[in-house]
């Protein structure tokens, strides 16, 4: 027995010196032991979870497993974690999982995953994930769960694991991303509300972002310019609403902090007062193709973030006498 222990120690020392892995032939040569004996010890170490195997073509490379003990990981994690064995029975759960499910731990352990007495977890989905995991598919999944009339969002992750007896299993980890998801949903809702307000406005209006790409182009602007929103969104062609050739609009100048050049591009504009609210105006007489002239007033308001940086500009267009 002592001889076998010494041989295992020698194998592990060789693998420790070769962290990228070695095949059976290389290990056999390094420890001066027959390949059959090496194969036997490698099987024992792999089953015990001390080695991991990586396939390179037809060759198997063995290297030392570097695992944090599962129970330690589970006890430290704020995420819900449940470990299921190859028969889909729940083998381990941590406290956040028990608290969320609301069932004593002793009643959860040993229960088959699909028999878990809870309507909270999408068990059928989870069974599908495990099949996908075996096929090498993406192990991450986003789910939402309704609990106490409140919708919660989670990133679920399937992690292959190995029990001490050599059997395989899967750890299911659920990371609560409700705050992040609710913030995203709130942002989307605010965006839709802004789009609705802009669309309902009778004043021609458009919005460009920091990169000068169009973020919004309302219906009144479509009517004024004859250019559809669908063709303008995401482009930098705001100039086409006013000019035959490309040049900066007032919104572009404000966005780039070039307000001192407004008179250069809009000579009909009176001297600008210093804006304390990020709003600038300019006037210009434009001649249409039919020879008809019209005087326009452009008003641009800079949009700032919490740090005071300009991140967007809103421009409205008004025809004046």
Q: What is the pLDDT of residue 289?
A: 61
Predicted pLDDT at 305: 84
Whether 100 contacts 121, CB under 8 Å: no
> Mean of the pLDDT values across residues 226-254?
95
Residue 119 has a pLDDT of: 52
Report whether pLDDT(12) > 70: yes
| Residue 187 reports pLDDT greater than 80 | no
pLDDT tens sequence across 138-149: 556 788 888 888
Does residue 231 surpass a pLDDT of 80? yes
Q: What is the mean pLDDT of the chain?
A: 83
Q: Over the stretch 243-263, which tens digit does the pLDDT of each residue have?
A: 999 999 999 999 999 988 998
Q: What percent of the chain has pLDDT over 90?
A: 31
In which band, very low, low, confident or very high, does the pLDDT at 166 lie, cut at 50, 70 and 90?
A: low
Is it the case that residue 27 has pLDDT exceeding 80? Answer: yes
Nearest to 63 by CA among 1, 6, 13, 99: 13
Give the H/E segment covering residue 251: helix 250-255
Phi/psi for 136 (5° steps) reads 85, 20
pLDDT surpasses 70 at 120? no
Min mean pLDDT across 89-98, 164-173, 204-213, 276-285 is at: 164-173
Q: How many C-beta neighbours within 10 Å does residue 239 have?
A: 14
Residue 221 pLDDT > 60: yes
Environment class of 81 (CB within 10 Å of its CB; exposed 0-12, middle 13-18, buried 19+): buried
Give the separation between CA 207 and CA 221, rounded to whole angstroms.
Answer: 11
* pLDDT in the model for residue 64: 83
Predicted confidence (pLDDT) at residue 121 exceeds the cutoff of 80: no
Q: What is the mean pLDDT of residues 92-104?
A: 88
Q: Give the pLDDT confidence score for residue 251 in this predicted structure.
A: 96
Q: Which of 89, 100, 93 is nearest to 74 (CA)?
A: 93
pLDDT digits (tens, 9 = 90+) for 44-96: 888 777 888 888 888 889 988 765 556 666 777 889 888 888 888 888 889 99
* 177 touches 153 (CB < 8 A): yes
User: Does position 3 have pLDDT exceeding 90, yes or no?
Assistant: no
Per-residue pLDDT, 136: 47
Domains located in the chain, CATH noted: 2-64 (1.10.10.10), 70-176 (3.30.450.20), 187-320 (3.30.450.20)
What's the whole-number mean pLDDT along residues 282-298?
82
Residue 123, pLDDT score: 63
Mean pLDDT on 122-141: 60
Nearest to 174 by CA among 96, 75, 290: 96
The pLDDT score that the predictor gives to residue 135 is: 45
Lookup result for tokens 């381990």 = 92
Q: What percent of the chain has pLDDT over 70?
A: 83
The pLDDT assigned to 51 comes to 86
């Amino acid at each position: 027995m002592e001889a076998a222990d010494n041989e295992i120690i020698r194998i592990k020392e060789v693998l420790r010196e070769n962290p990228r892995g070695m095949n059976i032939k290389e290990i056999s040569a390094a420890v001066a032991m027959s390949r059959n004996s090496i194969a036997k010890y490698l099987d024992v170490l792999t089953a015990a979870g001390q080695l991991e195997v990586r396939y390179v073509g037809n060759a198997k490379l063995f290297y030392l497993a570097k695992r944090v003990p599962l129970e330690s990981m589970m006890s430290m994690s704020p995420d819900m974690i449940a470990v299921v064995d190859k028969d889909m029975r729940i083998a381990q759960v941590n406290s956040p999982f028990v608290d969320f499910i609301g069932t004593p731990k002793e009643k959860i352990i040993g229960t088959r995953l699909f028999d878990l007495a809870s309507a909270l977890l999408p068990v059928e989905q989870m069974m599908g994930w495990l099949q996908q995991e075996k096929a090498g598919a993406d192990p991450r999944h986003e789910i939402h769960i309704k609990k106490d009339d409140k919708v919660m969002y989670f990133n679920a992750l399937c992690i292959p694991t190995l029990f001490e007896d050599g059997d395989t299993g899967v750890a299911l980890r659920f990371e609560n991303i409700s705050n992040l998801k609710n913030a995203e949903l709130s942002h989307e809702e605010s965006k839709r509300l802004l789009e609705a307000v802009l669309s309902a406005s009778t004043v021609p209006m458009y919005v460009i972002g920091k990169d000068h790409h169009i973020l919004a182009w309302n219906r009144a602007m479509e009517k004024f310019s004859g250019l559809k929103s669908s063709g303008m969104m995401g482009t930098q062609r705001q100039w086409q609403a006013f000019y035959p050739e490309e040049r900066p609009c007032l919104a572009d100048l404000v966005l780039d902090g070039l307000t001192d050049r407004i008179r250069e591009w809009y000579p009909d504009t009176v001297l600008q007062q210093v804006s304390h609210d990020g709003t600038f105006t300019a006037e210009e007489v434009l001649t249409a193709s039919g020879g008809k002239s019209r005087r326009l007033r452009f008003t641009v308001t800079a949009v700032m973030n919490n740090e005071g940086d300009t991140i967007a500009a809103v421009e409205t267009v008004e025809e004046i006498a």
